């Protein structure tokens, strides 16, 4: 990994948190947070061809839907079982980042419905 490029990426992101605008990926400002602490870890992630094999059907709100797209009331999905992330490839506990982030989105959407 190019250490100078990583530092530039970190510096850019930190400036986006200050200005409240992500110029690289247009993230919603509510999800921009400054780094905390002095120790960080880098995890390499790679695309896989086998990540679209099946799973529960959802839309961006992660609400489960029938095969014909009809919304199922009050049920959201998260993690390895939605969107065909693994399909028939069993990879338990290998999708932690996706599980955490999709769980956040699903829970947030469920809470918004309760309001």
pLDDT in tens, 15-59: 999 999 999 999 899 989 998 888 888 877 666 555 545 678 888
Beta carbons within 8 Å of 16's beta carbon, 6+ residues apart: 22, 23, 24, 27, 32
What's the rounded mean pLDDT across residues 93-107? 83
Q: How confident is the model at residue 111 (pLDDT cuts 50, 70, 90)?
A: very high
Beta carbons within 8 Å of 10's beta carbon, 6+ residues apart: 35
In the structure encoding, which two tokens stand for residue 70, read together? 């009809």
- The pTM score is 0.46
pLDDT tens digits, one per residue of 50-83: 554 567 888 888 999 888 889 998 999 888 778 6
H runs (alpha helix) in the chain: 3-19, 96-114
Closest CA to 95 of 87, 65, 108: 87
């Amino acid at each position: 990994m190019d250490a100078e490029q990583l530092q530039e990426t970190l510096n850019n992101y930190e400036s986006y948190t200050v200005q409240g605008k992500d110029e690289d990926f247009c993230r919603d400002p509510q999800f921009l947070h400054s780094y905390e602490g002095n120790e960080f870890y880098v995890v390499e992630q790679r695309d896989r061809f086998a990540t679209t094999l099946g799973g529960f059907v959802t839309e961006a709100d992660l609400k489960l839907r029938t095969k014909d797209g009809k919304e199922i009331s009050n049920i959201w999905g998260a993690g390895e079982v939605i969107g065909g992330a693994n399909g028939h490839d069993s990879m338990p506990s290998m999708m932690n980042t996706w599980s955490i982030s999709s769980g956040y989105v699903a829970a947030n959407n469920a809470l918004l419905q309760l309001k």
